[in-house]
Amino acid sequence: MELLADRDPEEARKLLDPVLKHMMEAVHRYEGTVNHIAGDGIMALFGAPLAHEDHSVRACYAALDM
């Protein structure tokens, strides 16, 4: 990510942590599960382990929230 490329790791983490927190909050708001955090992204699951009939819609709402 170019925004973080020239920054030291601690400074990059200070910038990235609030973004990751917001992303995880969006997933949880729509009852998804954060499965993995890697670098500047997350992997989220909707419909597992708790099934919802509208899991795909919930995933879209979470993405729009981000």
pLDDT tens-digit profile of 25-39? 999 999 999 999 998
Rounded to the nearest integer, the mean pLDDT of the chain is 92
Q: CA-CA distance, 66 to 49, in Å (whole number)?
A: 22
Mean pLDDT value across residues 19-30: 97
3-state secondary structure of 59: helix
Q: How confident is the model at residue 18 (pLDDT cuts 50, 70, 90)?
A: very high
pLDDT value at position 21? 97
Domain positions in the chain? 19-65
